[in-house]
Chain A
Amino acid sequence: MQELVELIAKALVDNPDKVHVSQLEGEQTTILELKVAQEDLGKVIGKQGRTARAIRVILGAAGMKLKRRFNLEIIEKG
């Protein structure tokens, strides 16, 4: 799922080389942490969060199929 989030993020941003996704496995939940260049943050979040929501819907459906929860965390670099 890490690769999938990476693929989506890279297709959305201007700086694909600055896309990093890490996957943290919990008991029932997988957390996917997405980091992008500061100026690309808006591209992965979208107006009113629509793009982030779309990615979460995609992960949600994958989770239904795989019987696992996938949480997307978009990390803002400090």
Chain B
Amino acid sequence: MEKEEKNNDIDQEFKGRNLEDAISLAELTLKLPRTQFNYEVVAEKTKLFGIGTKEIVIRTWPKKPAGDYPAVRFLEQFLSLYPLEIRYQIKEKNDMLYFIFDGMDKYLLLRKDGSLLLALQHLLNKMSTKKVQTDCDFFRKRKEREIKERTQEIAHKVQETGENEILDFMNPYERRIVHIAANQVSGITSESIGDGFLKQVKIFPSKE
């Protein structure tokens, strides 16, 4: 059985003008020195309407190994048998388990559009009650940016020509990014077509 260890008080986000600011705020709020919690930078942005002031957001989470999850136990055994040299780190956030991979053979995880990374995610999800997401070398961030940029390019083309465009087959995670990006372009909307796990997305002018 999975152990439910809620640590909502440490799993938080903190904002600051720089990293030091954000960490200090976290220390103050959590009443813990920075050596006793993990943190990562989740966003670093220049505020749009704030006369160019910068903001950094960090997320903190408890410095404790992930609980005894079936998915973790499986992965340990799996990696001991698998010929690739890969390591992983686990992060727990909300009700999700994130496996972040690294190691000498990580290129094999990332080739063919991350097919191995996603295959592992699929299997880990089968044996986990918590939703699992895998990542490596910011694969997701890069992928999201790629899809977003390509979608907006196409949406702008549709805006100019008024002609529908149909995108390649994508999984639900990719389609979600497409829908958000397409609908940000004024006068343009999108819908998924077909059925099955992979669907195409149509981008077309929205009729008023």
Distance between Cα atoms of A51 and B118 in the complex (Å)? 11
Closest to A65 in B: B83
Chain A residues contacting B41 (CB-CB under 8 Å) are: none
Contact B84 A61, beta carbon cutoff 8 Å? yes
- Interface status of A75 (Cβ within 8 A of chain B): no
Contact A11 B74, beta carbon cutoff 8 Å? yes
Min distance, Cβ B106 to any Cβ of chain A, angstroms: 11
- B-facing residues in A29-72 (Cβ within 8 Å): 43, 46-48, 50-51, 53-55, 57-58, 60-62, 64-66
A57 with B116, Cβ < 8 A, contacts A11-B74, A51-B126 known: yes
- Interface status of A7 (Cβ within 8 A of chain B): yes
Size of chain B's interface in residues, with CB distance under 8 A? 23
Question: Which of B81, B118, B197 has the most C-beta atoms of chain A within 10 angstroms of its own C-beta?
Answer: B81
- Interface status of B105 (Cβ within 8 A of chain A): yes
Chain B residues contacting A61 (CB-CB under 8 Å) are: 84, 108-109, 111, 116
Contact B108 A64, beta carbon cutoff 8 Å? yes
- A-facing residues in B169-208 (Cβ within 8 Å): 196-197
Min distance, Cβ A69 to any Cβ of chain B, angstroms: 14
Distance between Cα atoms of A4 and B120 in the complex (Å)? 13
- Interface status of A73 (Cβ within 8 A of chain B): no
Question: Which of B70, B105, B116 has the most C-beta atoms of chain A within 10 angstroms of its own C-beta?
Answer: B116
Closest to B123 in A: A54
Chain B residues contacting A74 (CB-CB under 8 Å) are: none
- Neighbour of A57 across the interface among B83, B84, B119, B197, CB < 8 A: B119
Chain A interface mostly: helix
Contact B81 A4, beta carbon cutoff 8 Å? yes
Distance between Cα atoms of A47 and B116 in the complex (Å)? 18
Min distance, Cβ A52 to any Cβ of chain B, angstroms: 11
Distance between Cα atoms of A41 and B137 in the complex (Å)? 35
Binding site for A on B (CB under 8 A): 70, 74, 77-78, 81-84, 105, 108-109, 111, 115-116, 118-120, 122-123, 126-127, 196-197
A sample of 22 inter-chain contacts (CB < 8 A) reads A4-B78, A7-B74, A7-B77, A12-B123, A12-B127, A46-B122, A46-B126, A51-B123, A53-B119, A54-B118, A57-B116, A57-B119, A58-B116, A58-B119, A58-B123, A61-B84, A61-B108, A62-B82, A62-B84, A64-B108, A65-B83, A65-B108
Given A47-B197, A61-B116, 10 other A-B residues pairs in contact with their CB atoms under 8 A: A4-B82, A11-B126, A12-B123, A48-B196, A48-B197, A54-B122, A58-B123, A61-B109, A64-B108, A65-B83
